[in-house]
Structure 1
């Protein structure tokens, strides 16, 4: 878990490029947080690993429009079983914290 947390970096969600793309995404995605997540990946030109069903249901159009790949963590063929295990633990811990009203950033 510490390995994952050490590699995370904070991206300010109010950067102009992220806000602009997030605003565009409101036409496609209902949840504004999902818009910010996809917009951040697009602005950074980084692939997105998510388990969000709404994002995955629009994956092809989002990938085509923004030049990113959208994957499930299970799709990551380059990840070792240890990395997948750590990522799964992180996702579950983050979900529990979210339900308790806390955020892991």
Structure 2
């Protein structure tokens, strides 16, 4: 399991550091926090953020985002706590359908 630390994007810019996607990834929730996922594999893959919250009494659905093959590149977020914060640690759980040739960075503006 890996907990990603959000890298702050400042006025002077940021050259983000990416890490290999891993099973059991977690990220701190935030209205200005998002994931940047890059997929260089030959097949598309999905990123799932597990929903833990409710909206007007209805259980929120997981967020599932498809990242295209080869040059796939997706920005996912924001990641609000009321929808994604885990009940025990307050972190959002992120899963990847494949981790082969997939890198990810947590970013905050």
TM-score (norm 1): 0.24
Bigger fraction of residues in strand: 2
Bigger fraction of residues in helix: 1
TM-score (norm 2): 0.23
